[in-house]
């Protein structure tokens, strides 16, 4: 027989209220994360729109001179974009081969004992704050570059790019290793049974099977390098220019935003508005790269 509700040991007012209110409160918590995104998009767009009323979009996106603080002012974002991509490409040239090779070693060659030592070390490398990499770039990498290459300055895209590259190695190696470890053992055994060497198994069986995860890790690392701020602020200089020479001092989108926020740029001025336009450009680029990374990981995943 059903117990009458009033006698039920769990039936009290406080409990019933909690039962109704908690789901709502918890939903609000989850909704705050959505609000954060809305806040980011709204902030960037609304301030950028007033900036683009003064400076036309075509001037902003095709202009080759960035001089927001010195008269005559000029707002062409291409030098900042070029600086950003120069640093990012240098970083990828370093992190991609090293990260992938480490992933192959850890997933296909290393014994459990070696893994137990190497993986935490790479985790530590991933947890080092970017300001520390910035210091490392300025006080270790730059002086070495200066002795090796005559004419290299203290601030250069190369020095910052190398430091950013070191920073994203663990990201590529751990994400790629995860993807390679997810390839079923049976595929490897099949190849070994046919007489393949470890290298052939790694490059011709495991890597192709894990390719979507590996490429998605590259894209994520690329996006991370584009958004990296402190290393480039410290080590890449503050000279916005159209250059492909890695020994030059350059400026990236992120380090420009920092430069303006450090100065006394008055609220409401064009230079102040420009950080939102640059921030929006940065946000859109990284947003699409992140979407691309997850689309690659999902779409081309081989299901076994």
Q: Which residues within the stretch 14-53 sit at the binding site for other proteins (CB under 8 A)?
A: 15, 18-19, 22-23, 25-34, 36-37, 39-40, 43-44, 47
Location of structure tokens 């290459």: 149
Distance CA 84, CA 250 (A): 9
User: Is residue 228 a contact point for other proteins (CB under 8 A)?
Assistant: yes
Site for other proteins in 131-150 (CB under 8 A): 131-136, 138-140
The residue count for binding other proteins (CB under 8 A) is 84
User: Is residue 97 a contact point for other proteins (CB under 8 A)?
Assistant: yes
Chain-centroid distance, C-alpha 1:
61
User: Is residue 174 a contact point for other proteins (CB under 8 A)?
Assistant: no
Q: In this chain, which of 45, 62, 64, 121 binds other proteins, going by CB under 8 A?
A: 121
80 is written with which tokens?
A: 């900042």
| Stretch of 64-72, 93-101, 145-153, 185-193 lying at the interface with other proteins (CB under 8 A) | 93-101
User: Is residue 222 a contact point for other proteins (CB under 8 A)?
Assistant: no
Strands 66-67, 74-75: pairing kind: antiparallel
Site for other proteins in 261-280 (CB under 8 A): 261-262, 267, 275-276, 279
- SS3 assignment, position 241: coil
Q: What is the enclosing helix (H) or strand (E) of 74?
A: strand 74-75
Distance CA 299, CA 162 (A): 32
Backbone angles phi, psi at 111, to 5 degrees: -75, 165
Residue 75 or residue 136: which is nearer to other proteins going by CB? 136
| Stretch of 61-69, 79-87, 194-202, 206-214 lying at the interface with other proteins (CB under 8 A) | 194-202
Measured at the CA of 148, the angle between CA 142 and CA 154, to 5 degrees, comes to 25
208 is written with which tokens?
A: 């192709």
Q: Shortest gap between Cβ of 71 and other proteins (angstroms)?
A: 25
Q: Shortest gap between Cβ of 72 and other proteins (angstroms)?
A: 27
User: Is residue 105 a contact point for other proteins (CB under 8 A)?
Assistant: yes
User: Is residue 218 a contact point for other proteins (CB under 8 A)?
Assistant: no
Distance CA 142, CA 162 (A): 10
Q: Residues 260, 264, 267, 271: is their CA dihedral positive or negative?
A: negative
Q: What is the enclosing helix (H) or strand (E) of 253?
A: helix 253-262
Q: Residues 221, 255, 243, 269: is their CA dihedral positive or negative?
A: positive
User: Is residue 254 a contact point for other proteins (CB under 8 A)?
Assistant: yes
Chain-centroid distance, C-alpha 104:
22
Residue 26 or residue 245: which is nearer to other proteins going by CB? 26
Site for other proteins in 58-87 (CB under 8 A): none
User: Is residue 206 a contact point for other proteins (CB under 8 A)?
Assistant: no
Q: Shortest gap between Cβ of 276 and other proteins (angstroms)?
A: 7
Q: In this chain, which of 1, 6, 9, 185 binds other proteins, going by CB under 8 A?
A: 9
- Cis geometry, peptide bond prior to residue 72 (ω within 30 degrees of 0): yes
Q: In this chain, which of 55, 82, 87, 169 binds other proteins, going by CB under 8 A?
A: 169
């Amino acid at each position: 027989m059903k117990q009458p509700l009033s006698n039920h040991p769990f039936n009290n007012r406080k409990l019933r209220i909690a039962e109704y209110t908690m789901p709502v409160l918890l939903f609000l918590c989850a909704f705050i994360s959505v609000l954060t995104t809305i806040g980011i998009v709204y902030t960037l767009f609304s301030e950028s729109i007033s900036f683009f009323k003064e400076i036309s979009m075509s001037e902003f996106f095709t202009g080759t001179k960035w001089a927001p603080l010195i008269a005559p002012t000029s707002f062409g974002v291409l030098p900042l974009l070029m600086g950003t991509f120069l640093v990012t490409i240098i970083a990828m040239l370093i992190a991609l081969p090293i990260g992938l090779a480490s992933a192959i070693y850890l997933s296909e060659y290393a014994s459990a004992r070696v893994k137990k030592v190497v993986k935490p070390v790479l985790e530590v490398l991933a947890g080092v704050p970017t300001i520390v990499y910035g210091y490392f770039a300025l006080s270790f990498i730059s002086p070495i570059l200066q002795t090796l290459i005559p004419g290299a300055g203290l601030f250069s895209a190369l020095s910052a790019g190398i430091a950013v590259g070191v920073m994203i190695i663990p990201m590529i190696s751990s994400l790629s290793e995860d993807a390679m470890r997810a390839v079923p053992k049976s595929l490897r055994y099949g190849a070994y049974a046919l007489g393949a060497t470890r290298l052939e198994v790694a490059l011709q069986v495991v890597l192709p099977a894990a390719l979507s995860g590996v490429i998605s890790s590259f894209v994520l690392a690329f996006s991370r390098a584009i958004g990296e701020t402190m290393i480039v602020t410290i080590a890449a200089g503050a000279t916005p220019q159209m250059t492909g020479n890695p020994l030059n001092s350059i400026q990236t989108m992120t380090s420009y935003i920092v430069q303006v926020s450090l100065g006394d740029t008055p609220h409401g001025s064009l230079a102040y508005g420009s950080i939102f336009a640059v921030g929006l450009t940065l946000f859109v680029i990284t947003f699409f790269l992140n979407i691309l990374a997850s689309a690659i990981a999902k779409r081309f995943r081989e299901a076994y």
